Amino acid sequence: MARLQALKDRLARYQKLEDHILTGGQEYTIGNTPHKMADIRTVQTMIANLEKRINRVEGRQNKVSNINLSTPGGQA
């Protein structure tokens, strides 16, 4: 359960970063030197990967919670 929450927390941070990038916070200039905070494609790839990982973990938890332990073999 802690792992799932950690993945969800990380996903939320990446989604917040994506929003920041999309609203104009990706690049800034110091003097004449432009700086890029994050690459939108990399951030979006991480969001997709985290969503897949969360779905896998949630799927495993659902499979475990659907097992009926009151009968032999866990069958209903």
Q: Which amino acid is it at 2?
A: A
Note whether residue 62 is domain-resident. Answer: no
User: Measured between alpha carbons, how far is 7 from 4 in angstroms, rounded to an integer?
Assistant: 5
What is residue 70's three-state secondary structure? coil
Q: How confident is the model over 24-50, as pLDDT tens digits?
A: 877 888 999 988 878 899 999 999 999
Note whether residue 68 is domain-resident. Answer: no
Mean pLDDT of all residues belonging to the chain:
85
pTM: 0.71
Burial annotation 19-51 (CB, 10 A radius, 16+ → b, else e) = eebeeeebeeeeeeeeeeebeeeebeebbeebe
If you average pLDDT over residues 1-5, what whole number do you get? 87
Range of the structural domain that residue 43 is part of: 13-19+33-52
Note whether residue 6 is domain-resident. Answer: no
> Is the pLDDT at 6 greater than 90, yes or no?
yes
**Residue ranges of E strands in the chain:** 27-30, 33-36
Among the residue ranges 2-6, 53-57, 63-67, the one predicted with the least confidence is: 63-67
